[in-house]
Amino acid sequence: MKVIFIGDIVGKPARGYIKDLIPRIKEEVKPDLIIANAENAAGGSSITPGTAGEIFDAGIDILTTGDHVFKKKESRDVLRSMDVIRPLNYGEEAAGKGFLIKEVSGEKVAVINLLGRVFMQPIDCPFKAVRKVLEDIKKEAKIIIVDIHAEATSEKLAMGYFLGGKVSAVLGTHTHIPTADERLINHYTAYITDTGMSGSCDSILGRERSQIIERFLTNMPTRFNLAQADIRVQGVLIDIDASTGAALGIKRIEYRKDDND
């Protein structure tokens, strides 16, 4: 089974390119499943029914999120009614669900969303949260893909080795910078510390450079507008043995909007 995971979608510039790109990816790569992190999809923060619908209409199948997911009130409606998940370790009281199971090409695939704690706001332990549900999920699905939305490389690596041999993939999101450390853990689990970003790479993490620099120089509150130039979609392509759930390979991917002009 071929699975594509797309890194954090940052606002309208990324959504527009994804709308044009996904049909091309489906024709060239023929993935069975496309997952994307969409916690920055609506104006650079959170997600709304409109932005989620736009991404699904483009051809993406499942959306994960992260620490910004609840910044817009409308996100609750998205989480309750669409194939969009929020971090599992927000707890049972939070709107939505922390994982979902979907039938893909005749096989059940589980996608789990986790949120890190190092250098981030307090939240329940992601390690204990995933351990609590994993055995029940494995009774239903052999293929299990985990999005660990976290700041610290060490925490993501720890999650990779914690789940190594137990899930098909542990994929890092949040920092918007793709890392060059893709690997197979225990000859079973595809891992990468960060899948990157979908948005402007002529920017600082998708935002206008001058505004970010001004913030560092003055330490004053500054509005961060979305950058528009050099739009790219970054992520990974994972090949999974559907009979065992084991990943056979992981490869970084990147598409540039200018390449299609």
Catalytic positions, please?
68
Please count the other Cβ atoms lying within 10 Å of the Cβ belonging to residue 183. 13
Rounded to the nearest angstrom, the gap between the alpha carbon of residue 135 and the centroid of all alpha carbons in its chain is: 23
Q: Rg (Cα) of the chain, in Å, rounded?
A: 17
* Residue tagged 């090949």 (tokens): 239
Distance CA 47, CA 115 (A): 17
Q: How far apart are CA 166 and CA 67, in angstroms?
A: 25
Q: CA 2: distance to chain centroid?
A: 16
DSSP state of 54: H
- Length of the chain counted residue by residue: 261
Sign of CA dihedral 52, 57, 58, 59: positive
